[in-house]
Structure 1
């Protein structure tokens, strides 16, 4: 199965590509603006593809007409490229629940769905039309992808956003949306994908709670429900890497030193300790949902992190001379290496209990892009 993702470098496209990589071992063809700007290039990029997840769209523009027609134009260019292939290609359309509403965005998405359904059907392919609610998650673009991304970045920066006109909004985490899109590949359906309703003020309340206990003190807030955990991971992405590392207060007396490693306000968790010999490393994996902490107790360590499907590496140097910790953001490959001349002692904490048959842990090296 060769899958292409339109809008593959955008928010939901990135999450979907990460999920295909983690759970299916697939390296999708990611299509961006340059591909859609050149019809011949788009056709060539699709030449070896038999399934497409169409996510590319226009959420905001200078005019209502640009929003509506921008979405239709993207769908038409995709349809023309598929028609030029002259063979069946299955398509999953990341549509919106607003497609049934009479507004510019809704009209554009509805027309896009109709256009693609006809083109795919004429070629003998299968078309899945998924109507998604409001999507949120890690690395959303503030002021564009959702109010959740905006709130997360504003609160993480210490500002105080204000809610005007509170109401209940149905939210779906980007990984759950990606799971639905991938699961619909090869099917002929039109389906509403449900999220979880939550008041806008409640989302902001959660972010303020996270900020108070996490950003200021390094304590883990109550993440006992999937919504809390997903919002927390969204907030954590907005704080990374600026808030790290954190060094807790050390209480010293004639007996030695004492310091807290984790203070959790709710939800499951487990802790373990490792020793690592000089020159050796641990990690080389990433997580989709797990909250994980590396706490250097003794020795000299270097922690490397790379956002999945990106090249830039973030590095932290930690020392047991000043015990400190860094939390691993979701969808970032990470490792820890002993860069000292003595044994490294590290405490690890995660919000999930470790079950070998259902680990949220996917191997990959910091230095390579191909799935392990």
Structure 2
């Protein structure tokens, strides 16, 4: 927001590729761009008309105007979407659109961020991801578009299945269980101890996939969707191992609610970069 008496130096407009197609919506977007161009020119501001394609992202509204949201909603509920008419799609992750609009990415990056898939190809990718994730495995997220599609899909799963049961194998030597099976892409594992009563976390991520697994002790993992008030609480302990995945755009924390030291394993697909930590403070 500009302070009173100041003039905008850059104006970014969330336009649409429909501006070139016609129709009431496309014509309205084109007319708005023309008016904004004139206003920006009058004050000497740099104007960017970002012709945004099909947007997708976490918590998109299904059965509205985004086929990705509809597919994810149905797949998360075990249903099998059907494609009646196939066509090409130009897809852009909503968070990339936001970065373009606020200037985090230059406007010239728009085309490099767009992914072209057919409707059938999109459904095939999401169906494969849903099948892999139904076992608790992490699908191949080596490509950016697959990571963004998987994070989008996960946003429809979290409230239905906030935790993944793990199989504990025990014998006279002790016990063993697998924490994460990944089918492609980078990954990083870490480990922490937490004293009784202490809370870790209180932040959210925009891009990274993160999995918490308590190895020993008792804890409560809490998650809250941004801009929402409802909190999901998952009780975890080392005797009954669960994997809890942190959905993107959800604030989360973990609290040691036991009397002993808490041991927790963390896995993320993101190799930590201190210059771009993708960790934004937010209290659950």
- When normalised by structure 2's length, the TM-score is 0.91
**1:208 counterpart (102, 115, 127):** 127
Q: Which has the higher helix share?
A: 1
Q: Please state how far the C-alpha of 1:104 moved relative to its aligned partner.
A: 2.4
Deviation per residue, 1:161-212 (Å, 9 max, x gap): 1112222211111111111111189x9x9x7932111121111111111111
Distance, in Å, in 1 between the alignment partners of 2:248 and 2:64 is 21
Q: Name the counterpart of 1:180.
A: 100
Preserved contact between residue 297 and residue 320 of structure 1 (Cα < 8 Å): yes
Q: Please state how far the C-alpha of 1:288 moved relative to its aligned partner.
A: 1.0
Q: Name the counterpart of 2:243.
A: 325
Distance, in Å, in 2 between the alignment partners of 1:296 and 1:206 is 31
| Secondary structure of the corresponding residue to residue 128 of structure 1 | strand
1:143 matches 2:75:
no
Preserved contact between residue 92 and residue 184 of structure 1 (Cα < 8 Å): no
Q: Which has the higher strand share?
A: 2
| Secondary structure of the corresponding residue to residue 209 of structure 1 | helix
Q: Name the counterpart of 2:230.
A: 312
Determine which structure has greater relative contact order: mean sequence separation of CA pairs < 8 Å that are 6+ residues apart, divided by chain length.
2
1:335 matches 2:253:
yes
- When normalised by structure 1's length, the TM-score is 0.71
Gaps of 5+ in 2: none
Preserved contact between residue 167 and residue 241 of structure 2 (Cα < 8 Å): no
How many equivalent residue pairs? 281
Distance, in Å, in 1 between the alignment partners of 2:71 and 2:57 is 12
Change (3 A) 1:213 1:127: same
| Secondary structure of the corresponding residue to residue 241 of structure 1 | coil
Q: Name the counterpart of 1:193.
A: 110
After superposition, the CA RMSD in angstroms is 2.2
Q: Please state how far the C-alpha of 1:126 moved relative to its aligned partner.
A: 4.4
Gaps of 5+ in 1: 3-48, 51-84, 367-372
List aligned pairs for 1:219-298, cutoff 5 A: 219-298=137-216
